[in-house]
Chain A
């Protein structure tokens, strides 16, 4: 019996987990690099919290997009949707009957309405998700500019109090040059992020819906054979994505306190990029939900690093593109080194390394 236990093979890491592991390691390495190169700023806890404080909407959005990407679809309307929600909330709060709860309900309502529209058209009418969410993007942008063109700064007292509300951690902080202790501050949006990450991770890991999502994304035919309601799964994943975009919009206006046409612009591209960094494949079926926030943080740290390094603003985009390139290639190489048939790099024969060949032969 003992020998049987000893020879028990180790369970191989699944593709989702290996990609997530790569993302997590990269994030830690990036942050260490940042600390080493700029110890003055990145060693402070406040810098770390600010990543969350300022980018809570983006992280929330990536969670919803992650579900859609695992089910094998894509949603490019979320950035514009977030902008529409901020503007609608700002207008409601500035009007006579504005209240914070009303704004929250409005935000959730807009998000769910768009999610229902996308979900119905994509799941039940089998239209291509890219085109439908592109139409959603146009619709949200059009409604946004129709509602109001100029920026609105919300002046409602209750809302301003909510906007300026900060949670202070008294035992964590830094001393400034004068020796005054400044405690760390967290915005309420961060708590929303943490709650949603925990909720979504549990949903994807343990609920029936989460497992259905993985099954449908992996192979739609076999999911149907297993008796999974494919259409309903796709439908609800888009509804969830719309809902998170609505929440993100509310958190956005809770952080900045203003409705603006440019709010949330191009967030969809950032969200897709961070999900890819987090190891969630666009083909569907592969990815760990925790990869979404990790990927976002990696992207943000990269951006902060570039900014701190004093790269000219015109070339920041180029450098981040280059880093994304390196990252994608690294992901591809690591996956191929695992020797899995699915992810082998298709190098032409004259480029193949001899030692690699031998290793692969030994594997099989």
Chain B
């Protein structure tokens, strides 16, 4: 008995790994392409006590996308739909952040923290707005967030009062680039901290179990005593926090609040990251690790194409071809086919090896 249990545990672990196999192999493939182009891919330089180079730049550039894709994973898993207004939500919350900082007079660390908390509150309000529509009024998520997608940037412009107010102070600059004495760029640190918080929350609470059960079957979850509305609402609140953090990082990176172009069309990349990470866009089981790897993959892909000196006009077409190939390789039909082929090879050539090592319980199944 015990033996079979151990085996099942191993099997589940392997299953988890096989879901991450695709994004990881793509990541490796991209890195290999980059290394073929030039062997100096991993090299980095120290400028004024901080690391710069390809890898730090990728981590730096993808920070907002990673944070947003975490929120998108949860929303997708619970509500079986996608939030397409995240870029706009981030623009609004960062507009409030900029408004507070510019009107606070002298900028100290306390001002920045207060402004950040205020923008988190705004993010929560946006989350409440979307969450109410989705969970109480039962509007499909994509339609509910379409409202913010249409009107969000004008709201941000209204808060700004003018086109792109400039955020010129030392602390913002340090948050956007490097704090003196720390060798790693600050957005990377913030992203790591955020990922750590999410990991702790998922480890210590029942959130994962509840979100997955609601996503797989809301009615069954309700019969089991989970309130699907509350869970969906909660995921939208988490999404609100994610957008606030992403907006905070983006606006500090840019040094100005450009309400028209800030994080424009990032929802496409975020949804793509969720899909590349092996998550179903129809809800259910999810893997945050996969989404994070997916987000970094997209950033590496973008930078690889620049590195290969593909003309800027054709970049999008190449990206599309890459996505299509990736999705075809990862599609269920191809996976089943590959599984069959692998099985045939195993049973044909390695039968004797398997017979010796496989425990009996597997055969009974």
A binding-site residues for B, Cβ under 8 Å = 74, 121, 124-128, 130-132, 134-139, 141-143, 145-146, 149, 269, 272-273, 276, 281-283, 314-322, 324-325, 328-329, 332-333, 343, 345-348
Contacts and interface: CB of A to CB of B under 8 A. Distances in A.
B146 A273 contact: yes
B154 A318 contact: yes
B24 interface: no
Interface string B71-83: 0000000000110
Interface in B297-325: 311-321, 323-324
8 contacts: A126-B333, A135-B323, A142-B320, A146-B317, A269-B150, A272-B142, A276-B143, A319-B151
A139 B320 contact: yes
B317 A142 contact: yes
A135 B320 contact: yes
Contacts of A318: 151, 154-155, 158
Contact of B158 (A143, A315, A346): A315
B287 interface: no
B242 interface: no
Contact of B154 (A132, A139, A314): A314
Interface in B92-125: none
Given A146-B313, A314-B154, A315-B154, 4 more contacts: A125-B332, A282-B142, A317-B153, A345-B138
A135 B324 contact: yes
B271 interface: yes
Chain B contact residues, majority secondary structure: helix
B316 A321 contact: no
B149 A347 contact: no
B328 A121 contact: yes
Contacts of A283: 140
A269 B149 contact: yes
B229 A346 contact: yes
Contacts of B282: 128
Interface stretch (B12-20, B129-137, B184-192): B129-137
B143 A145 contact: no
A314 B275 CA distance: 34
B323 A131 contact: yes
Contacts of A130: 82, 271, 275, 281
Interface of B: 81-82, 133, 135-140, 142-144, 146-155, 157-158, 229, 268, 271-272, 275, 280-282, 311-321, 323-324, 327-328, 331-334
Contacts of A138: 316-317, 319-320, 323
B221 to A, nearest CB: 14
A242 to B, nearest CB: 15
A146 B319 CA distance: 13
A345 B140 CA distance: 13
Given A128-B280, A131-B327, A324-B150, A142 B318 contact: yes
Contacts of A328: 133, 137, 139, 143-144, 147
Contacts of B280: 128
A329 B137 contact: yes
B320 A276 contact: no
Given A145-B313, A146-B314, A343 B149 contact: no
A137 B84 CA distance: 15
Nearest to A283: B140
A347 B136 contact: yes
Contacts of B138: 332, 343, 345-346
Contacts of A131: 271-272, 275, 281, 323, 327
Contacts of B137: 328-329, 332-333, 345
Contacts of A320: 150-151
